[in-house]
Amino acid sequence: MFIEPGTRHTKDRGTGWIEVISGSMFSGKTEELIRRLNRARIANLNVEIFKPGIDVRYDEEDIVSHNKNSIRSTPVNMAEEILLYSGSCDVVGIDEAQFFDDALVDVVNKLADAGKRVILAGLDMDSNGVPFGPMPHLMAVAEYVTKVHAICVNCGEIAHYSFRKSASESQILLGEHDVYEARCRSCYLEGQKIQKNE
């Protein structure tokens, strides 16, 4: 489990750092983000949470994870807006980071340079197994990267693919249980083979 390198030392040193939590759907990314943000709150730090305006699955303003843990967040349409809205806070949380464009990389570096701890959660790959949006770049510039894993619904092994059960080609179909499931490499390949033959 991830242990913070300290909760308050950004205040002494002037610079912050970047943490990335990545993994497939149903891997507990958002739960882990919420856990870290709640711990920062217990340490009396000011926390702001952002998510892309596109993510309107359940609720306009709350980050809602699959286990119904939720935390209030601000939807933003462009990464640069995060700079405007995070002025006085110590810790910036960003959920569904994969839906932002590459401008997010510059934004989170600026925030960390300015003394903020930035915690991002996002899908590492889309359902075609292709690295998703700015995630590869974010993982490269972050001080700390945590990969969380789901369990394959087919065989019970560790899963790191988001397998799409329907045939839609859209990369931004949002995560619902009836559209996606977590699969290990072996079961993911098997499912793709079956879909190609259908």
184 binds Zn ion (CB under 5 A): yes
If binding means CB under 5 A, how many residues of this protein chain bind Zn ion?
6
Q: Is the CA virtual torsion 24, 27, 33, 36 positive or negative?
A: negative
154 binds Zn ion (CB under 5 A): yes
Using the minimum distance from each CB to Zn ion, give the nearer residue, 102 or 157: 157
CB atoms within 10 A of CB 56: 12
Nearest to 108 by CA among 137, 133, 148: 137
Close Cβ partners of 153 (under 8 Å, ≥ 6 residues apart) = 159, 181, 182, 183
CA–CA dist 42, 74 (Å, integer): 21
Question: Which residues on adjacent β-strands are paired with residue 74?
Answer: 50
158 binds Zn ion (CB under 5 A): no
Is 96 an active-site residue? yes
Close Cβ partners of 194 (under 8 Å, ≥ 6 residues apart) = none
Task: Tell me which amino acid residue 82 is.
Answer: I
Stretch that binds Zn ion, among 106-114, 141-149, 154-162, 165-173 (CB under 5 A): 154-162
157 binds Zn ion (CB under 5 A): yes
Site residues for Zn ion, 20-49, by CB under 5 A, read none
Stretch that binds Zn ion, among 98-106, 113-121, 143-151, 152-160 (CB under 5 A): 152-160
182 binds Zn ion (CB under 5 A): no
7 binds Zn ion (CB under 5 A): no
In whole angstroms, how close is the CB of 150 to Zn ion at the nearest point?
A: 10
Question: Of 155, 165, 168, 170, which lies in the binding site for Zn ion, with binding defined by CB under 5 A?
Answer: 155
Q: Which of 31, 96, 157, 169 is catalytic?
A: 96
176 binds Zn ion (CB under 5 A): no
- What strands lie across the sheet with 91-94, from one edge to the other? 74-76, 47-52, 91-94, 117-123, 17-23, 144-148
Which residues sit in the known binding site for substrate? 172-175, 180
152 binds Zn ion (CB under 5 A): yes
The footprint of Zn ion (CB under 5 A) covers 152, 154-155, 157, 184, 187
Supply the residues annotated as catalytic. 96
